Amino acid sequence: MSELPPQAGRAVAVILAAGKSTRMKSRLPKAVHPICGKPMAWHVVAACRRAGVSDVVVVVGHQGQSVVDALGPTVAYAEQRQQLGTGHALMCAAPILPPDAGLLLVLPADTPLISHTELATLMQFHREQNSHATLLTAILDDPSHYGRVVRAPDGSVTRIVEAKDADADALAIREINSSIYCFAAEEALRALRHVKPNNAQGEYYLTDVIELLGKSGGRVHAVPSSDPTAVLGINHRAELAKVEALMRSRILRGLMLAGVTVTDPSSTYVDADVSVGADAVLRPGTHLLGATTVGEECTIGPCTVISNSTVGAGASVELSRVADSTIGEGASVGPYACVLNGSRVESGAVVGPFRQLDGAIVGPNA
């Protein structure tokens, strides 16, 4: 294989979201199942964007329109009409990739815990090594269904063995493939044309590109993730719950490090798009959902649900529900109140126990 020129071309991400995911036992495609208030695939797109990848292609297939509706027009879409494997998915995306793509980031839609820092580190290492391919891997105590990474004595990667095709020696390997890759775009797409469905599933494996590149003299490297949970995939609802709990913990830790008091993280739920100001206090049973903003020095809870609303600085909401409404600075709501459907509680106003506002306005200090 010829020496690669420095990979200074455009970075493009391809997110694989076409699978049927029968193990979810759902009418919804897996990629749109919500995690902390956003579709699973949204978190992967956001990580790519924060890592500096502006061009994102999402491969859709099973109930693809649901994925398009969930993610909107900010990404490009390629259709995989038949689900014939991950390699086939990339084949479907190839015709719409930018012609000046130099680095190709490929990742599945069901790894919502992947962070932009992990992706940035992967791409930086790939460029520094001028690799033909670089894998993001993880060392797991229980590799279970993940593909195993087989290395040569010099540490380079020779191949990836899918768990269902692995023998006993391969299954004993604890380093797993996260299914997140960096490729030199032109070389990877050239190798992809030679992939054959010679496996138990009759599918085109993207992992075969790794083996083909290695056999032809290409440089194939692997970077272990600094956080093995960041590459966890989701196959069924139990794993969905596990990943959401990890993401919720990550969100709450970020808030606490930014100066928010969370008195009981195990019973506090904050969605990915929520903003909370410093010195706010979130008491047990607080749910902050959707596009909600909570100002500084607020007290929220206990047992309070606020969705798609704004709560001004110094306000308090106790044992109440607020939806699609605005609570002004220093206002007080509850206990046992409902503020709904575009209601506005102005600065310093009080909405007392057992009151319900529906599209109403409460004036300042009322």
Is residue 134, in this structure, part of any structural domain at all?
A: yes
Q: Which of 231, 249, 275 is the last residue of a domain?
A: 231
| 8 band by pLDDT with thresholds 50, 70 and 90 | low
Tell whether 173 and 268 lie within a shared domain: no
Tell whether 29 and 141 lie within a shared domain: yes
Tell whether 36 and 181 lie within a shared domain: yes
Q: 3-state class of 300 per DSSP? A: strand
CATH (domain of 119)? 3.90.550.10
Q: Which domain holds residue 119?
A: 10-231
Tell whether 59 and 183 lie within a shared domain: yes
CATH (domain of 280)? 2.160.10.10
Q: Which of 196, 231, 266 is the last residue of a domain?
A: 231
Specify the pLDDT at position 5: 54
Q: Compute φ and ψ for 137, nearest 5 degrees.
A: -120, 180
The count of other CB atoms within 10 Å of the CB of residue 237 is 13
Task: Tell me how far apart the alpha carbons of residues 234 and 31 are, in angstroms, rounded to a whole number.
Answer: 10
The H or E element that residue 317 is part of is strand 316-317
Q: How far is CA 1 from CA 171, 215, 261, 335, in A?
A: 30, 9, 56, 70
Is residue 51, in this structure, part of any structural domain at all?
A: yes
Q: Are strands 38-39 and 34-35 parallel, antiparallel or unpaired?
A: antiparallel
Q: 3-state class of 14 per DSSP? A: strand
Tell whether 182 and 299 lie within a shared domain: no
- The type of residue at 21 is S
143's tokens: 């590799």
Tell whether 134 and 16 lie within a shared domain: yes
Specify the pLDDT at position 95: 96
Specify the pLDDT at position 364: 97
What percentage of the chain's residues is helix, strand, coil (to nearest 5)? 30, 30, 45
90-138 pLDDT tens trace: 999 999 999 999 999 999 999 999 999 999 999 999 999 999 999 999 9
Is residue 247, in this structure, part of any structural domain at all?
A: no
Task: Tell me how far apart the alpha carbons of residues 35 and 32 are, in angstroms, rounded to a whole number.
Answer: 9
Is residue 237, in this structure, part of any structural domain at all?
A: no
Tell whether 213 and 143 lie within a shared domain: yes
Mean pLDDT value across the chain: 94
**pLDDT score of 237 more than 70:** yes
Active site residues: 23
Tell whether 211 and 340 lie within a shared domain: no
Is residue 135, in this structure, part of any structural domain at all?
A: yes
Is residue 4, in this structure, part of any structural domain at all?
A: no
| 301 band by pLDDT with thresholds 50, 70 and 90 | very high
- The type of residue at 218 is G
Tell whether 214 and 262 lie within a shared domain: no
Ranking 6-10, 254-258, 277-281, 335-339 by mean pLDDT, the lowest is 6-10
Phi-psi region at 125: left, alpha or beta (left = phi > 0; alpha = psi -120 to 50): alpha
Specify the pLDDT at position 187: 94
Tell whether 195 and 321 lie within a shared domain: no
**pLDDT score of 281 more than 80:** yes
Specify the pLDDT at position 3: 59
**pLDDT score of 350 more than 90:** yes
Average pLDDT over residues 27-52: 96
Is residue 328, in this structure, part of any structural domain at all?
A: yes
154-208 pLDDT tens trace: 888 988 888 888 888 889 999 999 999 999 999 999 999 999 988 778 889 898 9
Is residue 119, in this structure, part of any structural domain at all?
A: yes
Instruction: Give the burial class of 117: count Cβ atoms within 10 A of its Cβ; 0-12 exposed, 13-18 middle, 19 or more buried.
Output: middle
200's tokens: 């138990």
Q: How many domains does the chain have?
A: 2
Which one is predicted more confidently, 147 or 314? 314
**pLDDT score of 316 more than 70:** yes
Average pLDDT over residues 314-339: 98
| 1 band by pLDDT with thresholds 50, 70 and 90 | low
| 21 band by pLDDT with thresholds 50, 70 and 90 | confident
**pLDDT score of 320 more than 90:** yes
Tell whether 207 and 262 lie within a shared domain: no
Task: Tell me how far apart the alpha carbons of residues 179 and 201 are, in angstroms, rounded to a whole number.
Answer: 17
Specify the pLDDT at position 161: 87
Tell whether 201 and 343 lie within a shared domain: no
**pLDDT score of 50 more than 90:** yes
**pLDDT score of 299 more than 80:** yes
Average pLDDT over residues 354-360: 97
Specify the pLDDT at position 200: 74
